[in-house]
Amino acid sequence: MLSLVAMPALAQDVQTEDGEPDSTRPTNNRAPVQLEEIVVTAQKKVQNLQDVPVSVGVVDTQAMRDAGSFDAGDLENRVANVEIDIDPQAPVIGIRGFATETDNVGFDPSVGLSVDYVALGRPEFVADGLFDLERIEVLRGSQGTLFGKNTIAGVINFLSAEPSPYFSGDVLASIGDPDQKRVEAGVSVPLGDWLSARLSGLYWDRDGEVDNTTLNRTEGNLEQRAGRLKLMATPGSGWTLGLSAQYSDTSVDYPPWQLFDAAPAALAYSREYDPQTEDDPLDTQTAMNVPGYVERTSDLSRALIEYDHGAVLGLQGLTSTAVIGHAAFDLATIIDIDVSPADLIITDFRNDFSQDSIELRTAGEAGSLFGLGGHVEFVTGVYGYRSDLESHLDTIAGDNLVGFALSAAGFDALGLGDIPGTGLIASLLDALQPLPGIPINDQLLRGFEQDSESHAVFGQMTWHLGERLATIVGLRYGVEDKDADFDVQTVGPGLVGLVVGADTFTTSLNRHETDFSPKLGLQYEWSDDFMSFLTWTRGFKGGGFNATAESADNLEFEPERASSFEAGFKSRWFDRSLTFNLTAYRTEVEDLQVVDFVNVSYEVNNAAEAILQGVEIEANWRPSIAWFSLATSMAYGKAEYDSYPNAPAAEDGNDSCGIPDGDGRQDLSGCTLPNAPKFTAALSPLFTLPIGETYALRWGVDLSYRGEQYSASDLDAHSRQGGYTLIGSRLVFGPSDERWAIIVAGTNLSDKRAKDLVFDNSVYADTYVSQQIPLRSLVASFRASW
Q: Which residue has the higher pLDDT, 68 or 771?
A: 771
CATH of 39-398+440-785 among 2.40.170.20, 2.10.109.10, 3.20.10.10, 1.10.1200.30: 2.40.170.20
Residues 455-494: pLDDT tens digits?
A: 999 999 999 998 899 999 999 999 999 999 999 999 988 8
What is the C-alpha end-to-end distance of the chain, expressed in Å? 18
The residue-averaged pLDDT of 73-98 equals: 90
- Give SS3 for 401: helix
Query: In sequence order, which residues have a C-beta less than 8 Å from that of residue 739 and are 6 or more positions away?
Result: 784, 785, 786
Whether residue 215 is predicted with pLDDT greater than 50 in this model: the reply is yes
- Asked if residue 527 has pLDDT above 90, the reply is yes
Q: Which whole number is the average pLDDT over 383-404?
A: 94
Q: Between 618 and 435, where is the model more confident?
A: 618
Where is pLDDT greater, at 500 or 750?
750
Higher-confidence position of 2 and 505: 505
- Residue 306: name the closest of 239, 365, 361 by CA: 239
Work out the average pLDDT over 127-143: 91
pLDDT reported for residue 430: 61
Burial of 9 (0-12, 13-18, 19+ CB in 10 A): middle
pLDDT, residue 122, reads 93
Mean pLDDT over each residue of the chain, to the nearest integer: 89
Report residue 24's pLDDT band, with 50, 70 and 90 as the boundaries: very low
The residue ranges of DSSP E strands in 54-191, in sequence order, are: 56-60, 82-85, 92-95, 98-99, 111-115, 118-120, 133-140, 154-160, 168-177, 180-190
What residues does each domain of the chain span?
Answer: 39-398+440-785, 399-439
What pLDDT, in 10s, does the model give residues 103-124?
Answer: 899 999 999 999 999 999 999 9
Amino acid at 154: G
DSSP 492-527: TT-HHHHHHT---EEEEEEEEEEEEEEEEEEEEEEE
The identity of residue 730, as a single letter, is R
Write the pLDDT tens digit of every residue in 149-159.
899 999 999 99
Local confidence band at 554 (pLDDT 50, 70, 90 cut-offs) = confident
Per-residue pLDDT averaged across 20-28, rounded?
Answer: 38
CA distance 46 to 65: 24
pLDDT of residue 435: 63
Of 147, 108, 115, 112, residue with least CA distance to 450: 108
pLDDT tens string 225-273: 999 999 999 998 999 999 999 999 999 999 999 999 999 999 999 999 9
* Per-residue pLDDT, 60: 84
Banded model confidence at residue 69, pLDDT cuts 50, 70, 90: confident
Cα–Cα distance between 731 and 739 in angstroms, integer?
A: 16
pLDDT category of residue 23 using cuts at 50, 70 and 90:
very low
CA 741, CA 691: separation in Å to the nearest integer? 14
pTM: 0.91
Q: Can you give the pLDDT at residue 26?
A: 37
Cβ atoms of 377 and 365 closer than 8 Å: yes
Q: What is the pLDDT of residues 680-713, one digit of tens each?
A: 999 999 999 999 889 999 999 999 999 999 998 8
Taking alpha carbons only, the member of 699, 497, 593 closest to residue 110 is: 593
- Please state which of the ranges 351-355, 357-361, 378-382, 404-408 shows the lowest mean pLDDT: 404-408
Comparing 85 with 185, which gets the higher pLDDT?
185
370: left (phi over 0), alpha (psi -120 to 50) or beta: left
- Output the 3-class SS for 681-737: EEEEEEEEEEECCCEEEEEEEEEEEECCEECCCCCCHHHEECCEEEEEEEEEEEECC
11-15, 280-284, 330-334, 518-522: which range is least confident on average? Answer: 11-15
Strand 560-573 to strand 578-598: parallel, antiparallel, or no bridges (unpaired)? antiparallel
| pLDDT tens, position by position, 596-653 | 766 556 778 888 899 999 999 999 999 988 799 999 999 999 999 999 988 888 866 5
Calculate what percentage of the chain has a pLDDT beyond 90: 71
